[in-house]
Amino acid sequence: MKLTEVQSLFKSSLLALHTASATSDVFRPAGSLTLQEAFAVYHRSYLARLSDALGESFEAVWWVLGDDLFRSVCRDYIHEFPSSSYHLQDYGARFTDFLTRHHDTKEILFLHDLARFEWLIKELGNTPTPQPLPAEQFQDLVKADDFKIHFIEGMSVFESPYAVYDIWRQRKEPAYHFDDINWHRPESLLIYKKQKKIYVQRVEPLEAQVLEDLKEGRSMSEAMAGFSAHLTPDRISAFYQLIAGAGIVEDVLILET
């Protein structure tokens, strides 16, 4: 039997957790284990590593589902989406959408957004420590008539019809507190990296929209055009202070008018 065939047989025995009679001609279990028990050692290890990776990325989803259901959903996900990456931390990119299809989780309306939020936090954590423009310099530059903002990489706007941030903040609490959360409440969040930490700040839906537009490359006047009725000078000033305080601006491009 060639090495490729041996490895293929090992892999199928590990995944299926049953040992065909031919398998016992090839493999010998360690210690006092039976061959099935020995493959079960590898099988459990495989599931545990991938489930732990999902648990690390989706801690709040785990909290909502509880240990048994989360592990069960993980097993189904692992079966459908085996890992092909060399790094366990990459695992789980499709878990968010999987939750909306899985028979045990699709009825939990906020779960998809909660998972999306957690994956975003993880992605922002993997961005370099930002080097933002000093707040005073930013405040000077925004006195111009029009300008574009180049944000730091570790910045994102998150919107959901559910209060996922409130749920996420409870993730280390005992499960029974879950009933107290008013999760049916829309949420607009500015999430950003400052020095080495991730910060989450609630913003108004209007502010979230302007930030999204600016991030997509629109100028400040373009981004604010649709909201002129709502944007008083005080509100614009508060918005600039929000941006300056968060330290999310890498550069400002002054536009000729």
Partner 1 sequence: MHATSFTHKVGLGLRTPHYNYLEQRPQTEVAWFEAQSETYLDSRGRPIEMLQLIRQDYPVALHGVSMNIGNPEGVRLDYLQKLRDLIERVDPFIVSDHMCWTGSAEMNLHDLLPLPFTDDSVATLVNNIDAVQNFLRRPLILENVSTYISYRRSDMNEWDFVSEVSRRSGCGILLDLNNVHINSHNHGFDPRYYLNHIPMDRVAQVHVAGASDYGGFLFDTHSTEISSEVWDLFKMMAPQIRHLPILIERDDDIPDFHELEVEVMKAVFILENSYEADRSTESV
User: Where does this chain bind partner 1 (CB under 8 A)?
Assistant: 1-4, 6-7, 10-11, 14, 25-33, 35, 37-39, 41-42, 45-46, 49-50, 82-90, 125-129, 193, 196
Nearer to partner 1, 2 or 172 (CB): 2
Nearer to partner 1, 52 or 145 (CB): 52
Q: How far is the CB of 13 from partner 1 (least distance, A)?
A: 9
Q: How far is the CB of 76 from partner 1 (least distance, A)?
A: 17
Q: How far is the CB of 124 from partner 1 (least distance, A)?
A: 8
Nearer to partner 1, 200 or 231 (CB): 200
Angstrom CA distances, 171 to 55, 81, 177, 178, 193, stand at: 12, 26, 10, 9, 21
d(CA 219, CA 149): 7
Short-list 240, 151, 141, CA closest to 192: 151
Nearer to partner 1, 73 or 130 (CB): 130
d(CA 254, CA 257): 9
Q: How far is the CB of 100 from partner 1 (least distance, A)?
A: 25
Angstrom CA distances, 7 to 36, 43, 189, stand at: 17, 15, 48
Nearer to partner 1, 95 or 239 (CB): 95
Nearer to partner 1, 33 or 109 (CB): 33
d(CA 192, CA 69): 31
Measure the N-to-C terminal CA separation of the chain; round to a whole number of Å: 76
Nearer to partner 1, 8 or 241 (CB): 8
Q: How far is the CB of 129 from partner 1 (least distance, A)?
A: 6
Q: How far is the CB of 220 from partner 1 (least distance, A)?
A: 29
Distance of CA 219 to the CA centre of its chain: 28
Backbone φ/ψ region at 122: left (φ over 0), alpha (ψ -120 to 50), beta? alpha
d(CA 73, CA 238): 44
Q: How far is the CB of 22 from partner 1 (least distance, A)?
A: 12
Alpha helices in 58-177 (DSSP H): 59-80, 95-101, 111-125, 135-141, 164-169
Short-list 144, 151, 150, 136, CA closest to 254: 144
